[in-house]
Structure 1
């Protein structure tokens, strides 16, 4: 039996285990930095396998599988946090397989599946340990949604001299079971928009005695919407999502301030910086025209880079996944405009950020992420685990002893 056949056999064996893991993690969904039950669940799995682990504050975990033979160090990552939102009782067409039992908390992005697939890969690679060289690090990252856990986890990884990293995100756009390991930007970079225009409050009946920041904010939005397509580079898409315009609380009171906030998303970091600078420049000129001032939240100084898959790692992944998965499973797909903390991993280590399709509209899978009707398609768990294991093994090499 060759290595691909062994992987597929193990995946069949551990598929029920992954389904069970996914359902349990979904049931006790926990928000960022409070993933205590999930943390304990991961530790229990590591202890049963006899694998050493490192707890990274507050709830991240690194589980180590050392073959005892020299070789590459492969870091495999799954995020474990849920979202602070309710889920609907159904998916797009009918009842869910399982429900979150935590109020206003659910896995509406698929991190429960990421956790389950990595736990499955941990079981499979442990079984294959004697045939491999080097070390695998199974990394369970807390707080991916607010990017609050990644810094501590990456700091803990520094001592391991990681050669490559790998992560999967389940994705509602591609069809069920399709894998994408394309090179280049896979998820967007982001920068915040958060500014407050300050005027002079007064009575609503005498706008001439006040300086109304609401008009200033409205004028800024108009000015920015004109400047955006005229001054950003054609062909380098930057999306502008203004989601907050807050000014005043009473119908007869001109407020002191008006706040505007949102995000820019982009796949070219320099163009993202350009968009942020354009927003500031437009805000300052607009404020001057309206006799207002403008203040920026600290988040407007932060630029989150895109999540970029290494070209050589992409080529390797495509080759080995086409060997182990059915023909037509590995496909190309467009980048995703959401953001990801895994971008910081790929800044440090060459690696792959893979997409795993879950869409099956006839069964109700295909709602957008962070949507109350989002539901995970458990049929793809095995494909994700097989892909993870096959990528790791290609780096570790088979032990000929």
Structure 2
């Protein structure tokens, strides 16, 4: 019997529950919750899992949920993970099931991920006798603020886990397709917070002041030299200052200025070198403008690097399930994902699942856009692929 024929029952199971998955996902979409506030979402997930017969551990790393499925025979433990949180974005999709909560939206599709993993949990229940080992289902809080995975790990979610797998929907890839990549897939995420202290005064008498606004402007521009003149052009790095706050009126030189930003890299080696560069440049530029500077450099998540063996396993599973012609090589991106923290602890693979229209997906609204939407046919496929990845790894024959 071929691998494709072995996976067909899982694909059929996913397809049969499509209407149920769509209904559940739309309910989550109407009622999004921000990071570490996912109490209602977690309660709905736990209720569904318990109805299936799972023992559920709640409140893990915030509102995270852990549930295990023990197979018919002993073997390794494979974890499957989904995230549950939404974003502080006002939805503009125009969908009949759009967010009912002003300023909060599932603009990244975590409602779909949660639904897919619930579907996988249900599918695998029907194939328990084929499992040699254990499947652990992780429903995670607070991915959007890069804190949920760390909290889950600290509270034991990975204890005893041998490998971990996860996926992310991609609206610019057509539904029915998937994308994988060996090595680095997504960038590291660091946050910088800079405070400048000068000497306030009258805007018409700048010589009697020390202007932190001018210093801040010079720092914003000067920090770009850390990328353009200190790092190889073959090592991708993005340094963005996203906010700059100073003063309250037009004719006063303020006493302080502050800014925050993010740094993304595609190499663990480069990520490790960025703090020294930023602290040095900020301090020296501030000194040149007679200001005092303080830098808080916060390392949030590492580069997301899949394990080659696990990536190969996912590729074989995808090819058997939907055909190799529906799998492409994923382009690298400097967007971050705290799934990378799990991959620092155990081997695994993270892959993209197409959620865009069959025609013109490349022109679809991207992740974090207020008009973001998914093609819901990706829900049963995502559930079946997650189940297949685990079952292929743990198949008892």
Q: Same fold, TM exceeding 0.5?
A: yes
Q: Which residue of 1 aligns with 2:149?
A: 150
Which residues of 2 match residues 29-48 of structure 1 at below 5 A? 29-48=32-51
Give secondary structure in 2 for the equivalent of 1:384.
Answer: helix
* TM-score when normalising by structure 2: 0.94
1:23 equivalent to 2:17? Answer: no
1:282 equivalent to 2:281? Answer: yes
Give secondary structure in 2 for the equivalent of 1:6.
Answer: helix
Which ranges in structure 1 are unaligned for 5 or more consecutive residues? 91-95
Query: How far apart in 2 are the matches of 1:288 and 1:364?
Result: 47
Deviations 1:262-291 (A, max 9, x none): 111111122123333222211111111111
Which ranges in structure 2 are unaligned for 5 or more consecutive residues? none
Give secondary structure in 2 for the equivalent of 1:173.
Answer: strand
The 1:364/1:220 distance shift into structure 2, 3 A limit, reads: closer
Residue 97 (structure 1) shift: 5.1
User: After the TM superposition, which of the residue ranges 73-82 and 315-324 deviates more from structure 2?
Assistant: 315-324
Query: How far apart in 2 are the matches of 1:53 and 1:102?
Result: 28
* Contact 2:189/2:262 (8 A) holds in 1: yes
Q: Which residue of 1 aligns with 2:261?
A: 262
Residue 136 (structure 1) shift: 0.8
1:88 equivalent to 2:92? Answer: yes
Q: Which residue of 1 aligns with 2:382?
A: 384
* Contact 1:144/1:340 (8 A) holds in 2: yes
User: After the TM superposition, which of the residue ranges 167-176 and 221-230 deviates more from structure 2?
Assistant: 221-230
When the two chains are superposed, the root-mean-square deviation of aligned CA atoms in Å is 1.9
Query: How far apart in 1 are the matches of 2:191 and 2:39?
Result: 30
Q: Which residue of 2 aligns with 1:225?
A: 224
Residue 313 (structure 1) shift: 0.4
The 1:305/1:34 distance shift into structure 2, 3 A limit, reads: same
Query: How far apart in 1 are the matches of 2:136 and 2:52?
Result: 14
Q: Which residue of 2 aligns with 1:93?
A: none
Among residues 323, 326, 334, which one is paired with 1:326 in the alignment?
323
Query: How far apart in 1 are the matches of 2:22 and 2:91?
Result: 19
User: After the TM superposition, which of the residue ranges 223-232 and 358-367 deviates more from structure 2?
Assistant: 358-367
Give the total of aligned pairs: 392
1:52 equivalent to 2:51? Answer: no
Q: Which residue of 2 aligns with 1:302?
A: 299
Query: How far apart in 2 are the matches of 1:385 and 1:210?
Result: 62
1:185 equivalent to 2:172? Answer: no
Residue 76 (structure 1) shift: 0.5
Q: Which residue of 1 aligns with 2:68?
A: 64
Query: How far apart in 2 are the matches of 1:159 and 1:253?
Result: 54
* Contact 2:84/2:110 (8 A) holds in 1: yes
* TM-score when normalising by structure 1: 0.93
Give secondary structure in 2 for the equivalent of 1:232.
Answer: coil
The 1:201/1:144 distance shift into structure 2, 3 A limit, reads: same
* Contact 2:318/2:385 (8 A) holds in 1: yes
Q: Which residue of 2 aligns with 1:312?
A: 309
